[in-house]
Amino acid sequence: MGTSSSRDRLETSDSDEDYEDDQEQEEQEEEEDEDQRSRTPGSSSSTSSKGKFETPTGTSSSLDDIDAKLKALKLKYATNNNNNNPSSQNPNNVKNAVKLYLHIGGNTPKAKWITSEKMASYAFVKAEDLDSDDEDEFEKEKERDFWVLKVGAKVRARVGTDMQLKMFGDQRRVDFVSKGVWAMKFFTNEEYREFVTRFQDCLFENIYGVEATDESKVKIYGKDFIGWAKPEAADNSMWEDASDGFGRSPGSAATPVRGNHDLREEFEEVAEGDGIQSLTLGALENSFLVGSSGIQVVRNYSHGIQGKGVHVKFNHGGNSRFVSSSSLGDSTHSTPKKGLLMRGETNMLLMSPGNEGKLHSRGLHQLDIETGKIVTEWKFEKDGTDIMMRDITNDSKGSQLDPSESTFLGLDDNSLCRWDMRDRKGIVQNLATASTPVLHWTQGHQFSRGTNFQCFATTGDGQIVVGSYDGKIRLYSTSSMRQAKTAFPGLGSPITHVDVTYDGKWILGTTDTYLILICTLFTDKDGRTKTGFEGRMGNKISAPRLLKLTPLDSHLAGANNKFHGGQFSWVTEGGKQERHLVATVGKYSVIWDFQQVKNSGHECYKNQDGLKSCYCYKTVLKDESIIDSRFMHEKFAVSDSPEAPLVVATPMKVSSFSLSSRR
């Protein structure tokens, strides 16, 4: 992993598709490929456990150069192949014919593509129509009515986003994951286009359960969002034609690589106790590593976070105890899964899972950071009835810096609300006389129908974005939590995490297999530019963009490793712009340049069909699975860096990386 596109280059050409069984020729071509790789910087690059922040590297020869060399080699064997004549490449007129390649060698210097089948045929078939031998592969599926891609004798893959299909229109080629990394190369542009269209139709039907007709797409997405189904019809005028990125797609002379950025590891802290469960970054002096035995306090510096030597332990006695009482859950020791800073970062609300490790909690524990003691337990209650919450967040980005902050937001499957730690008369409750003080529901709504809320975030002025299990993303204004101002349709995958820029113009949703970046800007009937938090966007809606791993990197990350925690870099002041996006998958932190992703002229978006996907990113590799990756507050960015340090937490260590303009 590391460089996102150099290793997925397919160093073959149509000229080797005459399928001669000449062993000498095959050896000659392999030698040519090996020679090309030895002269191609980054062709098998990967990040080390020290977290080298690599810049994409161009190749010394383009695919056309390789084609020309291989064509010259063919002359030695007197082949009469005419690449402009499809029938000469497919002499038997095999239906749906492709050449199938397999990537071997993983992340090693010997990684390469090999020919798996010189002439294979693909087909989209329903699972119920598979041969008996193929059925075994899908016997655990409860539903049978879904599309499967068959390629030759090697590939049987359910059509879905986890295939991570990547298109190369200029090469008539697609790459994908199916128990390995495969590439299919088509003989004509028409055959390539036919496959892409068919794949997208099968994907739509597998996700939504209806045929991919214009009528069904309008029904699924809504007439205002038809641009999500047909991106070419969307109003994309709001996407910035950005030019200030720290890198471009490799392999293009028109977009030179900027190689003057490096991510240096500055600090590495070993976690105390039983390890780290969650990371809570502060914007002032301290940040916090929350673990099963307590909270480790670390100091914020301009080059990252470093140990302060203070550790607040959770134990079964004394004022610093952290034991779930009967009012909040069972009576066993419970590890906090969420820490929320409040009141000028002098207090932290700790949220733990309820009984049997469920995500939902009946209440919170409040930690006084200055004394290191848990001062009280709060209970969620509405109209005298105990209720549960699955997540909490601050009223707005940066409100944790307000010393007088006494309210925060709560989320459950079908509830969105604001909680107040003061009593109904606006006076702070007397914690000494209340065994389990009650948080007051001051604003919100309990929805009668299943909204299946999963996660939420707030803008700088307190507007709210909520992600749902069905993939929808809803925008709520500061004035009402009853009805969303805008509801973006889902793409079929649950939103597991959501973030929004300080100004509310951009939303980042996380799913298991991709990130989705949405622009909320639109022009109203009076010609004024607004966000979807302020009014109904109508049909003036831009198509979203997807951020994905390449099929190879997705395979290296592991089948069971999923994206989580996608975040913008952190600003808490109007007029300042987030510069990067970061997410975690397995042992990797993945970083995108925000300006580059927004750039409509970006190389990644050329020759793509459907929603545009960006594959240009950098990665940091650690020795164990990463719990969280976040950028520190922008005030910790130093003069020689375009960004604040990146903090990467694993179960036993936390590392800080400084993005520098100097090599």
User: Are residues 215 and 332 both part of a single domain?
Assistant: no
Residue 148 maps to a domain: yes
User: Are residues 215 and 344 both part of a single domain?
Assistant: no
Residue 366 maps to a domain: yes
Structure tokens at 200: 């997208």
Give per-residue pLDDT as tens, 438-460: 676 776 767 767 788 999 999 99
Residues 458, 393 contacting (CB under 8 angstroms): yes
Choosing from 172, 196, 221, the residue where a domain stops is 221
How far is Cα 82 from Cα 171, in angstroms, rounded to an integer?
A: 17
Q: For residue 603, is pLDDT > 70?
A: yes
Q: For residue 552, is pLDDT > 80?
A: yes
User: Are residues 319 and 428 both part of a single domain?
Assistant: yes
Residues 598, 551 contacting (CB under 8 angstroms): no
Residues 654, 298 contacting (CB under 8 angstroms): yes
Please name the residues in contact with 305: beta carbons below 8 A apart, sequence gap of 6 or more.
267, 269, 281, 287, 298, 299, 632, 645, 647, 654, 656
pLDDT of residue 653: 92
Please name the residues in contact with 85: beta carbons below 8 A apart, sequence gap of 6 or more.
none
Q: pLDDT class for 512, splitting at 50, 70, 90? A: very high
Residue 471 maps to a domain: no
**CATH at 25:** 2.30.29.30
Cross-strand bridge partners of residue 389: 361
| pLDDT over 90 percentage in the chain | 42
How far is Cα 282 from Cα 632, in angstroms, rounded to an integer?
A: 8
User: Are residues 328 and 189 both part of a single domain?
Assistant: no
Order the strands of the 580-585 sheet from edge to edge: 564-568, 580-585, 588-593, 618-621
**Mean pLDDT on 165-184:** 95
Q: pLDDT class for 617, splitting at 50, 70, 90? A: very high
Residues 177, 555 contacting (CB under 8 angstroms): yes
Mean pLDDT of the chain: 77
How far is Cα 13 from Cα 61, in angstroms, rounded to an integer?
A: 13
How far is Cα 617 from Cα 249, in angstroms, rounded to an integer?
A: 10
Residue 20 maps to a domain: yes
Determine the residue type at 545.
Answer: R
Residues 47, 621 contacting (CB under 8 angstroms): yes
Choosing from 177, 206, 221, the residue where a domain stops is 221
Q: pLDDT class for 65, splitting at 50, 70, 90? A: low
The rounded radius of gyration (Å) of the Cα atoms in the chain is 27
Q: pLDDT class for 249, splitting at 50, 70, 90? A: very low
How far is Cα 149 from Cα 122, in angstroms, rounded to an integer?
A: 7
Give per-residue pLDDT as tens, 341-399: 999 999 999 988 765 556 678 888 888 988 888 888 888 888 878 888 999 999 999 89
pLDDT of residue 362: 84
Q: pLDDT class for 240, splitting at 50, 70, 90? A: low
Per the structure, the complete domain to which residue 135 belongs is given by 14-46+59-221
Q: pLDDT class for 139, splitting at 50, 70, 90? A: low
Order the strands of the 262-270 sheet from edge to edge: 262-270, 653-660, 646-649, 628-631
pLDDT of residue 23: 36
> Helix H segments across 123-263?
132-135, 189-208, 214-221, 226-229
pLDDT of residue 605: 86
For strand 373-382 and strand 438-446, is the pairing parallel, antiparallel, or unpaired?
parallel
**Residue bearing tokens 């291989």:** 70
How far is Cα 159 from Cα 151, in angstroms, rounded to an integer?
A: 12
What total number of domains does the chain contain? Answer: 2
User: Are residues 69 and 176 both part of a single domain?
Assistant: yes
Look at the chain and count its residues: 663
User: Are residues 36 and 175 both part of a single domain?
Assistant: yes
User: Are residues 196 and 341 both part of a single domain?
Assistant: no
Residue 370 maps to a domain: yes
Residue 639 maps to a domain: no
Give per-residue pLDDT as tens, 357-373: 566 788 888 889 888 88
How far is Cα 14 from Cα 185, in angstroms, rounded to an integer?
A: 9
Q: For residue 571, is pLDDT > 80?
A: yes
pLDDT of residue 426: 42
Residue 63 maps to a domain: yes
User: Are residues 173 and 37 both part of a single domain?
Assistant: yes
Q: Is 314 exposed, middle or buried (0-12, 13-18, 19+ CB in 10 A)?
A: buried
Residue 356 maps to a domain: yes
Order the strands of the 147-151 sheet from edge to edge: 155-158, 147-151, 112-126, 97-104, 181-186, 173-177, 166-168
How far is Cα 301 from Cα 81, in angstroms, rounded to an integer?
A: 64
pLDDT of residue 480: 78
- Stronger pLDDT, 131 or 111, i.e. the higher one: 111
**Residue bearing tokens 């970046």:** 517
pLDDT of residue 22: 37
User: Are residues 330 and 215 both part of a single domain?
Assistant: no
Q: pLDDT class for 321, splitting at 50, 70, 90? A: very low
In this predicted structure, which of 432-446, 453-467, 486-500 has the lowest mean pLDDT?
Answer: 432-446
Residues 626, 647 contacting (CB under 8 angstroms): no
pTM above 0.85, yes or no: no
pLDDT of residue 540: 72
Please name the residues in contact with 78: beta carbons below 8 A apart, sequence gap of 6 or more.
none
Choosing from 425, 450, 475, the residue where a domain stops is 450
Determine the residue type at 459.
Answer: T
